[in-house]
């Protein structure tokens, strides 16, 4: 069985992630196949729009398949991971810039790499089971695949909150934070998708949209905005307080890599100055390309995915113990090794 189904169905370019037992985790090869299809469909006048969905009920895509990167990096080979991230980020940029409507139907878990292949599209559909998150700090990374731009564009300080806590947004939360555009009950998806395939008319999504059930973020908006305005991650932690919500938020942040947490606050705030995805991806790549050689990526993947003991031995004891220069060094420009500088001109748009 193929990990991904790519085909043209009447007026629509169709992509279906097809690894339901693996929560449709995105492999390197899957990313390359999606990019190849988009390059063809962008020039195909018969294709009016592109629609991506996924098999199974539990997840649209729970993230990128990081096992191969761990295996190579743990042996001292960092080039494979850097190549994977560079190619994946190029795909994320092409989705953001795609010249035709790009429709994403995201049920269940949509996290990490799954966000990158769906939520930069023009029409982002969620349902009652949707749970969207950016959990990268928990494995020694930072919100990437263009996720830093989504976080930077979220209202108020929701971006900092979502990036540091990996809060799982339901449909209402995702709409509030700008990670989704439409709530449509999943029972209505099959008929809607069939209609779009037949006609290529993406405006059918607008007609099918409904109001979502109440979420959780709205009730805490003001407090999040006040607390997560702290200048640094350490300042944010100091300002959380000691009630039940504060304690839960503190636990969520402190289970993550301290270096990743410190860098995520800085990353989101730098990306707020950008209007397009490419400089955001460049900034993310500064960190991810160093994450195995200088950061906590190898230990994070070991603890969370390989051994699953969930007791990572991070290189810093706490967020407060991260020297400012360690954060600066992770986000320094890469020069000729930078994301777009290292790609052939035809790959950069």
Q: Which of 81, 108, 112, 113 is catalytic?
A: 113
Q: Which of 35, 65, 88, 144 is catalytic?
A: 144
235 is catalytic: no
3 is catalytic: no
HEC readout, the chain: CCCEEEEEECCEEEEEECCHHHCCCECHHHHHHHHHHHHHHCCCCCCCEEEEEECCCCEEECCECCHHHHHHHCCCCCHHHHHHHHHHHHHHHHHHCCCCCEEEEECEEEECHHHHCCCCCCEEEECCCCEEECCHHHHCCCCCCCHHHHHHHCCCCHHHHHHHHCCCECHHHHHHHCCCCEECCHHHHHHHHHHHHHHCCCCHHHHHCECCCCCCCHHHHHHHHHHCCCCCHHHHHHCCCCCHHHHHHHHHHHCCCHHHHHHHHHHHHHHCCCCCHHHHHHHHHHHHCCCCCCCCHHHHHHHHHHCCCCCCCCCCCCHHHCCHHHHHHHCCCCHHHCCCCCCCHHHCC
136 is catalytic: yes
Q: Which of 13, 64, 140, 163 is catalytic?
A: 64
338 is catalytic: no
Residues marked active site are found at 64, 113, 136, 144
């Amino acid at each position: 069985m193929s990990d991904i189904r790519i085909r043209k169905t009447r007026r629509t370019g169709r992509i279906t992630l097809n690894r339901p037992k693996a929560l449709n985790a995105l492999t390197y090869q899957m990313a390359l196949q999606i990019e190849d299809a988009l390059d063809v469909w962008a020039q195909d006048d018969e294709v009016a729009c592109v629609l991506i969905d996924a098999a199974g009920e539990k997840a649209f895509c729970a993230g990128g398949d990081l096992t191969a990167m761990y295996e190579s990096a743990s042996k001292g080979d960092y080039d494979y991971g850097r190549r994977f991230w560079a190619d994946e980020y190029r795909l994320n940029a092409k989705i953001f810039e795609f010249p035709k409507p790009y429709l994403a139907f995201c049920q269940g878990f949509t996290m990490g790499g799954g966000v990158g292949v769906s939520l930069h599209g023009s029409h982002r559909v969620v349902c009652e089971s949707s749970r969207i998150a950016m959990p990268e700090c928990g494995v020694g990374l930072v919100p990437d695949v263009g996720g830093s731009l989504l976080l930077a564009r979220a209202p108020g300080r929701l971006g900092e909150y979502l990036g540091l806590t990996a809060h799982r947004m339901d449909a209402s939360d995702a709409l509030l934070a700008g990670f989704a555009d439409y709530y449509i009950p999943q029972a209505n998806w099959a008929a809607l998708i069939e209609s779009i395939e037949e006609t290529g008319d993406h405006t059918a999504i607008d007609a099918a949209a409904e109001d979502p059930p109440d979420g959780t973020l709205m009730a805490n908006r003001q407090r999040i905005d006040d607390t997560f305005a702290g200048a640094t991650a350490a300042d944010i932690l100091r300002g959380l307080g000691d009630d039940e919500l504060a304690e839960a938020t503190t636990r969520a942040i402190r289970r993550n890599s301290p270096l990743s947490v410190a860098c995520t606050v800085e990353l989101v705030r730098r990306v707020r100055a950008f209007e397009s995805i490419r400089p955001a991806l460049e900034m993310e790549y500064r960190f991810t390309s160093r994450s195995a050689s200088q950061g906590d990526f190898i230990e994070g993947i070991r603890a969370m995915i390989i051994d699953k003991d969930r007791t990572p031995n991070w290189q810093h004891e706490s967020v407060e113990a991260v020297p400012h220069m360690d954060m600066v060094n992770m986000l320094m420009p890469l020069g000729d090794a930078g994301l777009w500088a290292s790609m052939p001109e035809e790959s950069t748009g």
